[in-house]
Amino acid sequence: MGDTLTERSRQILEAIIEDYIKTAEPVGSRSVTRRHGLSLSPATVRNVMSDLEELGFLASPHTSAGRVPTDKAFRFYVDSLLQIRSIDDEQRDEIRRHYRSQGRDVGEMLKETSRILSSISHYIGIVVAPRFTANVFRQIEFVKLCGSRILAILVSESGVVQNRIIESNEEIPSEDLVRMSNYLNNLLKGLTISEVKARIFQEMESDKVRYDDLMSKALKLSEQTLDEPDAEVFIEGQVNILEQPEFADVDKMKEIFRAFEEKGQLITLLDRCMDAERVNIFIGAENFLNRMNQLSVITAPYASGRNTLGVLGVIGPTRMGYDRVIPIVDYTARMLSKLLGSG
């Protein structure tokens, strides 16, 4: 639909958007002519701007205050105007440096990743930890704690660990626990977690198991271990958003921080990007959470081998520096994938 835009309109729109990204303030016709090398008079630009407003690309906060790009404008900007540069060498090196000085616990790595995203983009970094369900089973272990409490540890192919304390109703000797885990490891090796669940169910029904107390106990334990806790998210750099002039207002700030407290919603949002090929962008109120009205999200999935594990991204104001941030998100996702992969 928008393709009725003339070349000149596009240039002007781009100029306005870029100006607005820099200043966070409504852009007037004069600024456009001055800053941009267009040999046009302010009056002409005004006419064009008026058209752009009609088309829904611009909005005026009030009569005499220049114009502000709408979500639609940013969408157009991202889709059609923006040429994505590859990442700056400097930033690439910085990302690498961060990862190098890094302990190798997977959780730590994810947290560090969100820190990297935030510190390099100057916005908010976010990483959704891998769901077990999207993962390949590697091993299960049971550790006897005091009394009848058992610690179950589940390890995936990519080294993600999920652990859970199970309150058993009877005390099980350590040797039995070892036998149980051997049995399960054999049974489940190489399956994805969703297959694992199906397999457990199927095995429970089988005669062989029904009369073997140990096996059936083992299956029950594994079942309890598998039921997944809420996905973990690492969010870092929330303060950065406070630097943005458009959030200088206390109420807006509250809204935003409240949005971040409800991690469930965030996760739902990011989960939708799991299947995306590469970078995915949500602009402003485009898709989601009313609380994140004035924010955009740039996401990319990360993987281990062919297996998509989770999603990471950057959250910033709608007027964020897309050209700068998109390559950062993309590169970080690939870097993380490499580190989690067979590396």
Partner DNA sequence: AGTTAGCACTCTGTGTCATCGAGTGCTAAC
Partner DNA sequence: GTTAGCACTCGATGACACAGAGTGCTAACT
Among 54, 86, 103, 205, binds its own copies (CB under 8 A): 103
Which residue has 């990007």 as its token pair?
Answer: 273
Provide CB contacts within 8 A for 83, sequence distance 6+. 323
Q: Does 194 bind DNA (CB under 7 A)?
A: no
Residue 138 binds to its own copies (criterion: CB under 8 A): yes
Q: Which is nearer to DNA, 31 or 280 (CB)?
A: 31
Phi then psi for residue 241, to 5 deg, are: -65, -25
**3-class secondary-structure state, position 14:** helix
In angstroms, give the least distance from the CB of 322 to its own copies: 25
Under rule CB under 8 A, residue 253 binds its own copies: yes
User: Out of DNA, its own copies, none, which partner does residue 229 contact, by CB within 5 to 8 A per kind?
Assistant: its own copies
Rule CB under 8 A: say whether 257 interacts with its own copies.
yes
Residue 161 binds its own copies (CB under 8 A) = yes
Contacts of 172 (CB under 8 A, 6+ apart): 144, 148, 150, 180, 217
Which residues, listed in sequence order, are joined to residue 304 by a DSSP beta bridge?
307
Amino acid (1-letter code) at residue 127: V
Q: How far is the CB of 300 from its own copies (least distance, A)?
A: 22
Instruction: Determine the Cα–Cα distance for residues 81 and 281; give it in Å rounded to an integer.
Output: 15
Which residue is associated with the tokens 């489940």?
188
Q: How far apart are CA 231 and CA 47, in angstroms?
A: 51
With binding defined as CB under 8 A, does residue 155 bind its own copies? Answer: yes
Of 25-33, 83-91, 254-262, 303-311: span binding DNA (CB under 7 A): 25-33
Best CA proximity match to 141, nearest among 171, 161, 168: 161
Min CB(25)–DNA separation in Å: 8
Which partner from the list its own copies, DNA, none does 85 bind, CB cut-off 5 to 8 Å by kind? Answer: none
**Which residues are CB-contacts of 230 (< 8 A; sequence separation ≥ 6)?**
263, 264, 267
Q: Where are the alpha helices (DSSP H) in 156-311?
A: 174-188, 193-205, 207-210, 213-226, 238-243, 250-261, 263-271
> Minimal distance in Å, beta carbon 26 to DNA?
7
How many helices (H) and strands (E) in the chain?
14, 10
DSSP bridge partners of 316: 296
Binding range to its own copies, per CB under 8 A, among 82-90, 207-215, 254-262, 291-299: 254-262
State the nearest-atom distance from the C-beta of 175 to its own copies, in Å.
13
- 6 vs 287, which CB is nearer to DNA? 6
Contact residue for DNA among 14, 20, 66, 295 (CB under 7 A): 66
Choose, by CB under 8 A, the member of 85, 210, 254, 278 that binds its own copies: 254
Q: At 242, list the tokens.
A: 């406070």
Q: Which element (helix H / strand E) includes 84?
A: none
Residue number with CB closer to DNA (41 or 206): 41
Name the residues that contact DNA, by CB under 7 A.
8, 26-31, 39-44, 46-47, 49-50, 53, 60, 62-67
Name the residues that contact its own copies, by CB under 8 A.
103-108, 138-139, 141, 143, 145-147, 149, 151, 153, 155, 157-159, 161-167, 227, 229, 236-239, 242, 248, 250, 253-254, 257-258, 261, 342-343
